[in-house]
Amino acid sequence: MKNKTLLFFTIILISVNAWSQKPAVEPNSEKVLLINNVQIFNGKDEKTTIGNVLIVNNMISKISTAPIPTNKSGEIKVIDGKGKFLMPGLIDAHTHIMMESLDIMELLNNDIEYITVNAVRSAEKDLMQGFTTFRDLSGPSFGLQKAIDKGLMIGPRIYPSGAMISQTSGHGDFLSVNAVPRDAGSSLDFTERFNFGILADGADEVLKRTREQLRLGATQIKLAAGGGVSSNYDPLDVSEFTEAEMKAAVDAAENWGTYVTVHAYTPRAIQTALRAGVRCIDHAQLIDEVTAKMVADKNVWLSLQPFIDTGVSVFAEGSPNRIKQQTMSRGTESAYLFAKKYNIKTAFGTDCLFQPKHSAARAGDLTKLLKWYTPFEILKMATSTNAELLTMSGPRNPYPNKLGVIEEGAYADMLLVDGNPLKNLNILEDYDKSLLMIIKDGVVYKNTIK
């Protein structure tokens, strides 16, 4: 017993002595990363500049064409960029991080723990593709956001919407065929209990469900305002939610200083949303010219996705979902042409959903845009322009400093690329080879430059 007591106090003394030692880095000292000799694309201007970038902790502290002294205390690392291309981290303005790595049947027939583990792995893969920020537009991503921000896991920054709010028979209705008529006292469906999507009918219910998502930490609210491809109960042409129902969500969001975006393809769905005060339209593939002009006149955003029918689909040929997908895809070109004609503020998103192969190659959606835009216009859209959209969440913005740019005072989210994507955008598809360095929030997650 005496020996055990002596051992115990010996361990305590050793521990106290270890804690009393002066740490290698002072607790309030800074982590400094200096990247020299890089070709800087700032996210806004087509012209690049050869220069040096100083990162202090998680922020860009200084950018200069002249040498930058490193007379700072703390942990200092200097990297020779060897003239490689430095750009802001990519931003995806339409994602579903909890639903991108499994197909729809796996999602509906597995428990939330299995789904979450898959999402955790997917988030790391997304960051390794160069995407440092996501606007998540449906799904229970609040926990992932917190875990990533606390450094418990690796992944992009997340602007979460929480559950997509849908009417009964709408795009977010994933109940079984025989689940109606639905008793008022019925328990919530799996997709509702775990906040993938929630059903609301009538302005009062929409108001309540919107407030619930804001309570959980939504940075913006997502409504399903029209028919969808993957949903089974709504033809593509239908308009969902009344103007009063949408306005209830808009009022609640505006009371919290943020905004509502809607899933909508058709002119009627989009116009109803515009009258209700919605500030962003996601998809809009079937928009017409009159509606496009209304979007421009109201200074509303379009968050477009380059949906192009390649002949490969998760839906069986001839099935209702496949026919809806083909109809929607045929409108993609006119949607982009209207956006350009009326100079509508246009964001880039992938809408990776139910297709693991798509989420593993999301940079391919950037190269699809070459049909309508130059490489510079595409890179600007996927960096500084998307970042501008994110600022619409106002005081609900969890990342209030600048994103999508390489500027002093911006977050240190950046990619060092082997090659110049302003001349050859396709190199971003081969991200394992072309991305030499990936930095998010000042942390180097990949570095293969020697």
Q: According to the model, what pLDDT value does residue 357 have?
A: 87
Task: Reduce the DSSP state of residue 446 to 3 states and report it.
Answer: strand
Q: According to the model, what pLDDT value does residue 181 have?
A: 83
pLDDT confidence band for 16 (50 / 70 / 90): very low
Contacts of 264 (CB under 8 A, 6+ apart): 225, 226, 270, 273, 281, 282, 283, 284
Q: According to the model, what pLDDT value does residue 136 have?
A: 98
Task: Reduce the DSSP state of residue 134 to 3 states and report it.
Answer: strand
The answer to whether the pTM exceeds 0.75 is yes
Look-up of token digits 């790391």: 124
Inter-residue contact 79 to 36 (CB < 8 Å): yes
| Lowest mean per-residue pLDDT among 188-197, 249-258, 373-382, 420-429 | 188-197
pLDDT confidence band for 5 (50 / 70 / 90): very low
The pLDDT tens digits of the residues spanning 330-349 come to 999 999 999 999 999 999 99
pLDDT at 53 exceeding the cut of 70: yes
pLDDT at 255 exceeding the cut of 70: yes
Average pLDDT on 378-391 reads 98
- Most confident stretch, 4-13, 68-77, 184-193, 258-267: 258-267
C-alpha span between 61 and 63 (Å, rounded): 7
Estimate the share of the chain in helix, then strand, then coil, as percent rounded to the nearest 5.
35, 20, 40
Q: According to the model, what pLDDT value does residue 26 have?
A: 43
Average pLDDT in the chain: 91
Q: According to the model, what pLDDT value does residue 14 have?
A: 33
Return the ∠ at Cα 256 (arms to 343 and 89), rounded to 5°.
50
The pLDDT tens digits of the residues spanning 236-253 come to 999 999 999 999 999 999
User: Closest Cα to residue 40, out of 313, 420, 365?
Assistant: 420
Q: According to the model, what pLDDT value does residue 2 have?
A: 43
Token pair for 257 = 């200083």
pLDDT at 6 exceeding the cut of 50: no
Output 181 or 423, whichever has higher pLDDT. Answer: 423
**Percentage of the residues of the chain whose pLDDT score is greater than 70:** 93
* Angstrom distances, CA of residue 203 to CA of 165, 195, 206, 226, 277: 12, 20, 5, 17, 15
The pLDDT tens digits of the residues spanning 79-104 come to 999 999 999 999 999 999 999 988 88
| Lowest mean per-residue pLDDT among 13-27, 132-146, 272-286 | 13-27
